[in-house]
Amino acid sequence: MSRLTQGFKKATANEDKVVLVDFYADWCQPCKAISPILEEIATDPKFKTGSGDAVDLVTVDSDRETDLCAEYDIRALPTVMAFRDGKPVQKFVGALPKAQVHAFLQSI
């Protein structure tokens, strides 16, 4: 297991929070649209998922981390995956409006 993969596994294994993983690329315009929404949610201590968990954010540059993208079958950008205890539990693809991102997190 590469050092990066180990770091990714450790970051997504947070037992106290749901970890959102934002698979993005610098050239991707929809990625640039959703990034501030995800950052705002992750830095707002009052925001909780539907199950009451806080949210953390990990970003993955899909151009650099091709092995991780292949492992999680990332086929379009942006793809946002929610991890709980190191395992993916749900995902969405595309730049959703803020209200839909909130609804996504309320369903977790």
Backbone φ, ψ for residue 46 (5° rounding): -85, -20
Q: Which of 28, 68, 77, 82 is catalytic?
A: 28
Q: Which of 21, 31, 55, 68 is catalytic?
A: 31
Q: Which amino acid is at 77?
A: L
Tokens representing residue 50 in the block: 């539907």
In the chain, the domains with their CATH numbers are 3-106 (3.40.30.10)
Mean pLDDT over each residue of the chain, to the nearest integer: 92
User: What percentage of the chain has pLDDT greater than the value 70?
Assistant: 96
pLDDT at 24: 97
pLDDT at 2: 60
Per the confidence metrics, is the pTM higher than 0.75? yes
Beta carbons within 8 Å of 70's beta carbon, 6+ residues apart: none
pLDDT at 1: 52
Flag whether pLDDT at 69 surpasses 90: yes
pLDDT at 43: 93
Across 25-39, average pLDDT: 97
Task: Tell me whether residue 28 is one of the annotated catalytic residues.
Answer: yes
Q: Residue 64, SS3?
A: coil
